[in-house]
């Protein structure tokens, strides 16, 4: 089988992504069926950025399926600085069966994948967070029992999570409204890439600087931190610019009565979201966190060609 990487939701067809979601559903319902699915395989985890959910769910998921993990912390790897990314790839491919990498520039993970004969999974770059995005759509489908035709509002910074939500919306036929301050919109290249899929699935990608307009009558309200890793010097400036974009009970009231609230975590409570919202019955943030485990298991099995058990 030709090597398959998981670098962006854009790289996969709607059918392929639905197949992964279906596999994740089966894994969640019958985890013991897959307890030896990765037996004999060793996965390297390269993390150049801190992590709770991504690290824990990949390690637990691999071990629950009988695989082995080698973890490299931010202090151990400086991809492209201590050693050329291509050299890292050509070394690791001799020892491990796959690589999960959390890094900075998206070009780093593309170079890693291009030079490695083993599958590479993007565990987050500055451009994209596909594991999070796919787990999010899995969670939405779980709560709303469908994806196509739903309406999602993303309020906040047009960051890597926003980019993956855009790609997923275009693939799954979800209407997406994105409210950001001017100058903090998602990247034009992402919007251009997603356009054809959105047209094919009959949905729109709407950009606005008005959070109320974005949230009006939607099924899902999503936000993320205003300052991502690597942007700490901008924290004070961003707090001021993004303050009108806080998701609070007033903003949630414009969504549908049965709308759910989502956040990829970690949350800066009192900034992008209030306690009243994140701790409310509408909040499904910890379902999202749990589902990272099941979806990432499915991603691993899918790229290894282990689709059914």
Q: Which of 226, 232, 196, 201 is nearest to 211 (CA)?
A: 226
Catalytic residue check, 102: yes
Which of the following is catalytic: 116, 132, 246, 282?
132
How far is C-alpha 42 from the chain's CA centre? 23
Which of the following is catalytic: 238, 263, 292, 294?
292
Compute the distance between CA of residue 41 and CA of residue 43 in angstroms, rounded to an integer: 7
Q: Which of 183, 304, 301, 175 is nearest to 241 (CA)?
A: 183
Compute the distance between CA of residue 155 and CA of residue 224 in angstroms, rounded to an integer: 8
Catalytic residue check, 145: no
Catalytic residue check, 294: no
Tokens 């399926």 map to which residue? 65
Residue 80 has, within 13 A of its CA and on its CB side, a CA count of: 11
Which of the following is catalytic: 97, 131, 264, 296?
264
How far is C-alpha 201 from the chain's CA centre? 21
Compute the distance between CA of residue 110 and CA of residue 131 in angstroms, rounded to an integer: 16
Which of the following is catalytic: 5, 97, 219, 224?
224
Residue 202, token pair as written in the block = 């009959």
Compute the distance between CA of residue 251 and CA of residue 233 in angstroms, rounded to an integer: 28
Compute the distance between CA of residue 56 and CA of residue 90 in angstroms, rounded to an integer: 26
Which residues contact residue 42 at a Cβ distance below 8 angstroms, ignoring those fewer than 6 apart?
Answer: 67, 68, 69, 70, 95, 96, 97
Which of the following is catalytic: 5, 53, 116, 129?
129
Residue 234 per-residue DSSP state:
G
Catalytic residue check, 224: yes
Catalytic residue check, 264: yes
Alpha helix positions (H), the chain: 14-29, 53-64, 85-92, 106-114, 130-144, 160-172, 188-200, 211-215, 235-242, 249-252, 275-278, 285-303
Catalytic residue check, 132: yes
Which of the following is catalytic: 102, 141, 238, 294?
102
Which residues participate in catalysis according to the annotation? 102, 129, 132, 224, 264, 292
């Amino acid at each position: 089988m030709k090597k398959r990487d998981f670098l962006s939701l854009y790289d996969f067809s709607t059918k392929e992504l639905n197949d992964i979601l279906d596999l994740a559903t089966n894994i969640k319902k019958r985890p013991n069926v897959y307890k030896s699915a990765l037996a004999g395989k060793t996965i390297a985890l390269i993390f150049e950025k801190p992590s709770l959910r991504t690290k824990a769910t990949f390690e637990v998921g691999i071990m629950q399926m009988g695989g082995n993990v080698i973890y490299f912390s931010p202090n151990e790897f400086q991809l492209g600085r201590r050693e050329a990314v291509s050299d890292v790839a050509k070394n690791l491919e001799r020892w491990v069966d796959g690589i999960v990498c959390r890094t900075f520039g998206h070009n780093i993970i593309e170079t890693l994948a291009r030079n490695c004969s083993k599958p590479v999974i993007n565990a987050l770059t500055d451009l994209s967070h596909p594991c999070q995005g796919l787990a999010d759509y899995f969670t939405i489908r779980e709560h709303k029992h469908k994806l196509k035709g739903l309406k999602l509002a993303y309020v906040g910074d047009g960051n890597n999570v926003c980019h993956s939500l855009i790609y997923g919306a275009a693939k799954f036929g979800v209407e997406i409204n994105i409210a950001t301050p001017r100058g903090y919109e998602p990247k034009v290249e992402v919007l251009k890439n997603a356009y054809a899929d959105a047209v094919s699935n009959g949905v729109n990608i709407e950009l606005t600087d008005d959070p109320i307009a974005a949230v009006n009558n939607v099924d899902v309200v999503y936000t993320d931190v205003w300052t991502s890793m690597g942007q700490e010097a901008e924290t004070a400036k961003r707090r001021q610019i993004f303050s009108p974009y806080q998701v609070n009970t007033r903003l949630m009231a414009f969504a549908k009565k049965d709308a759910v609230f989502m956040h990829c975590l970690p949350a800066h409570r009192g900034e992008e979201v209030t306690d009243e919202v994140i701790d409310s019955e509408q909040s499904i943030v910890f379902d999202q966190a749990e589902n990272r485990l099941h979806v990432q298991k499915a991603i691993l099995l899918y790229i290894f060609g282990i689709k059914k058990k």
